[in-house]
Structure 1
Amino acid sequence: MATVNDKLPLANRVAVITGASSGLGEATAELLAERGAKVAVLARRADRLEALVERVEQHGGAALALAVDVTDAAALNAAAERVKAELGTADLLFNNAGVMLAAPVTEGRVDEWQRMIDVNITGLMNAIGAFSPQLVEAAADKGIADLVNTSSIAAQNVFPNFAVYTGSKAFVSHASRNLRAELGPQNVRVSVIEPGIVRTELQGHVDHAGTNAWLDDVLANHEVLEAGDIAETVAFLAAQPRRVNFQQVTVMPTFQGN
C-alpha cells in the first residue's frame, strides 16, 4: 500500500541544492522536501544548513546538510559521494549558488570580478561536474533526471555597473543550452531559470552607493519576486511528465519591464 509520502508529487526524488543557506536555495529545499523529495543542502554556512535540515525533518522530510564551497571542486566531489551513500543517487540538481556585486568598471574591482567568476561560473561547473554522473545514472534507472540552473534576466538585458555579473549569468544561460544538447538524449532535462528582481540577500552584497540607492528604491517601492516564487518554478519543472522539458523560464515581477 502506498504511503502518504509516496503520493506526493516528488516522492522518491533525491534533490541537491547549492546556495541553500538562504534565499532561493533555502526556499526551494523546503518546498521540494514538502513535496516528497529527499534534499541535500549545500552552502558554506553550516549553522544555517543545520537549521534548515531541522525544519525539514520537523515536517517529516529527509535532508542532509553539507557545508561546502562550490569553488572547491574536490569538496563537491566528496559531497556527491555522501549524497549517494546517505540519500541515494541524485536525480535533481538545483544549481543555485551565486554572488552579485556591482560597481563601475573604471573602479577596477578585480577581486570582485574574480569572485563572481569563481562562484557563478566555476562553481556552477564544479557542481555539474560532481553531480552530472549521478543525474545520468538516475535517468537510466528512473527514466528522467533534472538539472536546473539559476541564471538571471541580467543574462538578456543591460544593467549599468553590472558588466561582470551579467556576463557570468549569460554564461549560465548559454552553457545550459549546450548542456541540454548533451544531456537531453540521456533523459536528463536541463532547464535554466532567469528571474527578474527577487528579494534575497544578493542585494546586500553590493556596496556601490549609486547602485545601492537604485536597488533600495526598487525594493521599497515595488512588489518584487519572493524566493518562494522561484521555488515553485523549480518544483513545477521537476514534476513535469518525462517528455516535457521547459528549456528556459523567465520569471519577472509584474512591474518589471526588462
Structure 2
Amino acid sequence: MNVRRYGRVFREFFRACLVEEMEYRSEFFGNVISSFFGIGMALLTIQIFFYQTDRLGGWTYGEVLVLLGVFNTLRGCIDFALRPNMPRLLEHVRRGTLDYVLTKPVDSMFYVSFRHLVFWRLIDVVLGFGVIGYGLYVERYVPSVADVLVFLVVMTASFLLIYSLWMMLMTTSFWVVRIDDLSFIFDSFFETARFPGSMYRGAVRMVITYILPAVLITNTPALALLGKWRAWAALAALVVSLLFLWIARRFWRFALRFYTGAGG
C-alpha cells in the first residue's frame, strides 16, 4: 500500500466530511456539550468509588484518572474514525452495495474503514488529554521524554489493536449478515478497558489479558505516562498490535472470496 497516496485519499475524506458536518453547526455544538457531560459523569463515578477506598485494583486516584483519560482519548479516536464506518460494512454486505466499493481505485478495506469521519468526537480526545493532565497533577508526577515516547508508541499500538479486533468482528458479516449490531459486542469488550485490569478476577481477567487483550489497550499507555513502563512490554504491545492487524488484513481478503454481490 502506497502510504503517501493513501495519506492524500484520507485528506480528501477528511475535507469532504468536515464540509458536510459544518453544514449542521447547531447539532455539532450540541454534541460537544454532550461530550463534556459524559466526561463529567465519568469523573463523578470515579469520585464515588474513591469515597469508599483509597485504591482501585491497586491503582491510586491519580493513576485511575490517567487511565480514564487514556480510555476517553482512545474512545474519541474510535468514535471519530471507526464507529461511523464499521456498522456500515454490515449494510454494504446486506444490500450488496459493497460492489461499488470494490470497483473503486482504492483498497476496499481502507475505504470501508475510514470513508466517514465524525469531527465533534475529537473533543473527546481533547478532554481525554485534559483528564490525563489532571491525573498527573494529582499524582504529582511529570513524565520524562522517554515516558512520552513510550506512551505514543503504545497508544498507536492500542489503536491498531482496537481497529484490528473490530475489523475482524465486522468482517464476519460476510457470513452472519442477519446480526443487526455486531458493534455491541465490541463495545462490551472495550468497556472493560475503562478500569484497571487488576480489578478483574478469574476467567474474566484471563480473557481480557491474554485472549482479547483489553487490559493492554488502556492500562499499558497509562502506565507508560506514569513512568511504570518496561521496554519489553512496549515492544510486545507493538508486536501484538501488528500481528492482529496482519490477521485482520488476511481475514478481510479471505472473506471477500465469499461475497456474492447484489446479484448473488
Same fold at TM > 0.5: no
Higher relative contact order (CA 8 A, sep 6+): 2
Structure possessing the higher radius of gyration over alpha carbons: 2
Structure with more strand by fraction: 1
Q: TM-score, normalised by structure 2?
A: 0.35
Structure with more helix by fraction: 2
Q: TM-score, normalised by structure 1?
A: 0.35
